[in-house]
Copies of this chain bind each other. A is one copy, B any other.
Amino acid sequence: MESRVRKVRPALLKGFDQEFLPPEQLQFNALVELIRRNFERFGFLPIETPSAERIEVLTSKGGAEKEIYALSRLAAEEDDEAAARGALRFDLTVPLARYVAMRERELAFPFRRYQIQRVWRGENPQVKRGRFREFYQCDIDVINRETLSYLAEAEIPSVIYSVFREMAIGEFVIRINNRKLLKGILQHFEVSPDAATPVLRALDKIEKEDEAAILGELERHGMRAASARELYRVIATRRKTDETLALLAELGYRNDMYLAGVDELGKMVEAIRLFGVPEGAFAIDLRVVRGLDYYTGTIYETTLSAHPDIGSICSGGRYDDLASYFTNTRLPGVGISIGLSRLFARLKEASLLRPLARTPAEVLVTTLAPEGLERYLQIAAGLRSHDVNTEVYLERAKIGKQFEYASKKGFRLAITAGPEEFARGTVKIKNLATQVESDVPAGEIIPRVKSMLDTKAH
C-alpha cells in the first residue's frame, strides 16, 4: 500500500553536505562553544547577521560575483525584495562592514565583535580537503574610528593562542608577517605595481614548489635573476623571531614602506610577548602573504606543527578601513577567521578530535513494568531537578533492547527497577562502561548517581 507513493531519493546537494550524526554534531557543537567561550573571555560581543543581504552590499568591494548564490522564489511572487535583489553572504566581513556602517551611532568603539555563522560560496567542493559550499566561519574583529592602536593587532595572537591551546589539537604556530614590510621589499627590488600581485603569489608557493620554479616565475614577472635570488633568499629563510628581526634590520633596504613595516613588526613582537603568548607558539614568517588589497599591516596564519598539510587553521590581518563602501567614517580594524567546517573535517580525518559523550543525557531510566511508570518518571524528574540530564525509555520493549539502545546512544548509567525492586524499595544502577550493577535504596538514587557521574569522566 505505502509503496504506491512514488519515493523521493533522500540525498544532499553537492557542497551542501557537511551533515553529522548526533555524536559528531555534539563534537562540532563543543568546538563552537569552546571558540565562543574564548572570544567572550577577551570581551568580544556576539552579533549575527541575516543570511541574505542586498546584492549591491555583497558586491560593494567587487570581485566576489561569481561565487555568490542569489535568491529567487520557486513560484514567482511580487514584492519580495529578497528574491528580487538578495543573495547569500559569502563571508562575514562584508556583513560586518554593513552592520557597523548602519549602527555606527549605537555601537561602543572600539567595537569588538565575534560572529559564528554559516556562509555560502560557489566554489568547487572537495569533501576530502574540507572544502564545502556551505560552511561555518568563526570571526573576531576589533574596529575603531579614525585610529586603531597596534596593540589591537598584538592582542589577536593571544586570542588565537587561547582558542587552540584549549582545543588541545597539538602544537601550533601563529605565523606573523606585515604587509608594509612586504610592499617595502618589493619596492626595494623595483617590482612594478602591476607585477606585485603575481610576484607575491609566486612567493606564496615557497612551501609547496621548488626554488627553480619560483625563481623562474619571478623572472617572468620582470625581476633580474640576481634580484630574484636575493628576494627568494630573504623570504624563504626560516629563523627564530629575534634573528629574523635582526636580519631585517641588517638588510638595510631604505624605503619608508620597508622601514615602517620593520618598525611595526618589531613593536608587534614585543607586545605579543607582553600579551603572554609563549615563544614557541608564534613566529615571524615572511612567507605569509594573504590576500592582496585588503590587509595593510600585520597578517596572521596559524598552522598545526604536526599537520602542515591541513594548511592555515586561522588567518586574518589588519586593515585600514572596514566600510569605505558604505560610510565616510574611517574605520580601521583587525580581524581573524577560523574556517570551522574545514577545520572540523580535517581534524576528524587526522583523528585529532577528542572523543566526547555521545549523548548530552547521562542517565537512562529503563521501563521494565508498566505499573512502575509513575516511579520511573519520578526518578527521572528528581534527577533532572538536580541537573542530571535524564531520559526515560518510553516504548514497550524487552530490557535487552533497552540496554542496546542505552549503549548505542552512549548513556553512562542505566537505572532499572521491576516488581522485585519495588517490593524491596530499591533500584539497580548499572555503570554501562564497566557493566557493574548495584542495588541502591530509592531514597539514595540522586546522591549515588551524582557520585558515580563525578568519579569517572568519559
Contacts and interface: CB of A to CB of B under 8 A. Distances in A.
A377 interface: yes
A326 B74 CA distance: 22
Interface stretch (A6-14, A279-287, A412-420, A428-436): A6-14
Interface in A90-127: 97-99, 101-103, 106-110, 112-113, 118, 120, 122
A5 B98 CA distance: 15
B51 A16 contact: yes
B66 A75 contact: yes
B8 A325 contact: yes
Interface in A293-338: 321, 323-328, 330
B45 A360 contact: yes
A162 B385 CA distance: 10
Interface of A: 2-3, 5, 7-22, 25-26, 28-29, 40-43, 45-57, 59-60, 65-66, 68-75, 77, 80-83, 85-88, 97-99, 101-103, 106-110, 112-113, 118, 120, 122, 133-134, 142, 144, 147-149, 151-152, 155, 162, 271, 274-276, 321, 323-328, 330, 359-361, 364, 373-374, 377-378, 381, 384, 389-392, 394-396, 405, 408-409
A78 B32 CA distance: 34
Which among A12, A14, A16, A21 has the greatest number of chain B C-beta atoms within 10 A?
A12
Contacts of A324: 2, 5
Given A13-B53, A80-B133, 4 more contacts: A26-B46, A142-B394, A148-B395, A152-B395
A122 B328 contact: no
Nearest to A104: B10
Determine how many copies of this chain the complex contains.
2
Contacts of A74: 55, 59, 65-66, 68-70, 87
Contacts of A13: 50, 52-54, 81-82, 85-86
A330 B118 contact: no
B152 A394 contact: yes
Contact of A112 (B2, B47, B275, B391): B391
Contacts of A142: 394
A326 B7 contact: yes
A53 B12 contact: yes
B51 A22 contact: no
Contacts of A377: 274-276
B394 A155 contact: yes
A155 B367 CA distance: 14
6 contacts: A10-B99, A10-B323, A19-B49, A68-B73, A70-B73, A149-B396
Contacts of A26: 45-46
A206 to B, nearest CB: 31
Nearest to A12: B50
Contacts of A148: 395
A8 B83 contact: no
Contact of A118 (B2, B51, B134, B275): B51
A404 B54 CA distance: 34
Contacts of A40: 360-361, 389
Contacts of A147: 395
